[in-house]
Amino acid sequence: MKRKTSTPALPTKFKGPEESPGFLLWKVSNAWQRRQRAALQPLGITHSQFVVLAVATWFGVAETLTQARLSTLSGVDPMTTSQIVRTLEAGGLLERDEHPGDIRAKSIAVTAEGGAKAREALAVVEQVDTEFFARVSGCERRLVNILKALARSEKS
């Protein structure tokens, strides 16, 4: 016999979870991450590793990167960035060296192998994005602008 609970409904301003922008963003983000994880798995790289490697590749040509700067640019918290950098370094995709302007810091650079992995993974990530966002085809610019506004509010 099933037992009924007497827990009242949650007091919310929404008719239900499917009307909550935060809940929907969480669901969509998880679905997107699952697809990225599955697509990147054959390359032996996680999505977080891809993000740090891609950011290092994009910005490393224009500036000397530190771990702290990689954390800021990628939006990955400093402790996780540290772990990812160590993993990528152990895999020969990144290298750390003396920083030219700060004796306390290490500069981080993408190796040739890391650059090749970033390019390979970027093609996979962009293909997943194309397939995932196909349902909102024609609205991509608006979606990107909404996401940029939300990302800017994170900095406030």
Residue 117, pLDDT > 80, answer: yes
> Of all residues in the chain, what percent carry a pLDDT higher than 90?
66
Residue 126, pLDDT > 90, answer: yes
Burial code of 112-124, b = ≥16 C-beta within 10 A, e = fewer?
A: eebbebbeebeeb
17-26, 73-82, 86-95, range with the lowest pLDDT: 17-26
How far apart are the C-alpha atoms of 60 and 106, rounded to whole Å? 13
Averaged confidence pLDDT in the chain: 90
Higher pLDDT, residue 118 or 103:
118
Tell me which residue has tokens 């608006």: 142
Q: pLDDT of 130-151, one tens digit each?
A: 999 999 989 999 999 999 998 8
Phi, psi (5° rounding) for residue 94?
Answer: -130, 160
Sorted by sequence, the CB contacts under 8 Å of residue 31 that are 6+ apart come out as: 132
The domains of the chain, with CATH numbers, are 43-155 (1.10.10.10)
Q: What is the pLDDT of residue 5?
A: 65
Q: pLDDT of 11-55, one tens digit each?
A: 888 887 888 899 999 999 999 999 999 999 999 999 999 999 999
Q: Is 83 exposed, middle or buried (0-12, 13-18, 19+ CB in 10 A)?
A: middle
CA of residue 52 relative to chain centroid, distance: 8
